[in-house]
């Protein structure tokens, strides 16, 4: 079974430029998460989707970040414009079911460097 797929794996951009990350969850997983992991820290939730609905986006900086999961499968996270402080690893995870005890499976992440 294929795991969570993310692309690109690495991205270097200059500040004020836009950037987008893509995630394809495990087949059949209805819940999708985007996390940001700063250097030396644990992941922090940005947004959670149940199918195509964003059910928790309270930690998403909505002035510059946006996300979509149009058909309830793959998802895109966008930053526009990027700032130096956005340099981090962006992780996507998926799970089956709606309970928060459900196991989340993580992708390898996209490492973003903003210069």
Give the binding site for another protein (CB under 8 A).
4, 40-45, 48, 56, 91, 93, 99-101, 103-109, 111
CB 77 within 8 A of CB 65: yes
Q: Which lies closer to another protein via its Cβ, residue 11 or residue 111?
A: 111
The minimum distance between CB 107 and another protein, in angstroms, equals: 5
To another protein, the closest distance from the beta carbon of 97 in angstroms equals 12
How buried is residue 50: exposed, middle or buried, by Cβ count under 10 Å (0-12/13-18/19+)?
middle
Between 47 and 79, CB nearer to another protein: 47
Instruction: Look up tokens 């309970």; give the residue.
Output: 99
Q: State the minimum distance, in angstroms, from the CB of residue 29 to another protein.
A: 14
Spatial distance between the Cα atoms of 43 and 56, rounded to a whole number of angstroms? 16
């Amino acid at each position: 079974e294929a795991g969570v797929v993310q692309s690109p794996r690495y991205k270097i951009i200059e500040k004020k430029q836009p950037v987008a990350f893509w995630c394809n969850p495990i087949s059949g997983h209805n819940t999708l998460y985007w996390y940001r992991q700063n250097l030396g820290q644990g992941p922090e939730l940005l947004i959670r989707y149940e199918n195509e609905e964003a059910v928790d986006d309270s930690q998403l900086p909505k002035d510059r970040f946006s996300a979509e999961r149009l058909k309830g499968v793959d998802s895109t996270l966008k930053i526009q414009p990027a700032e130096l402080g956005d340099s981090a690893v962006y992780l996507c995870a998926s799970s089956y079911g709606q309970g928060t005890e459900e196991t989340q499976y993580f992708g390898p992440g996209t490492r973003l460097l903003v210069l």
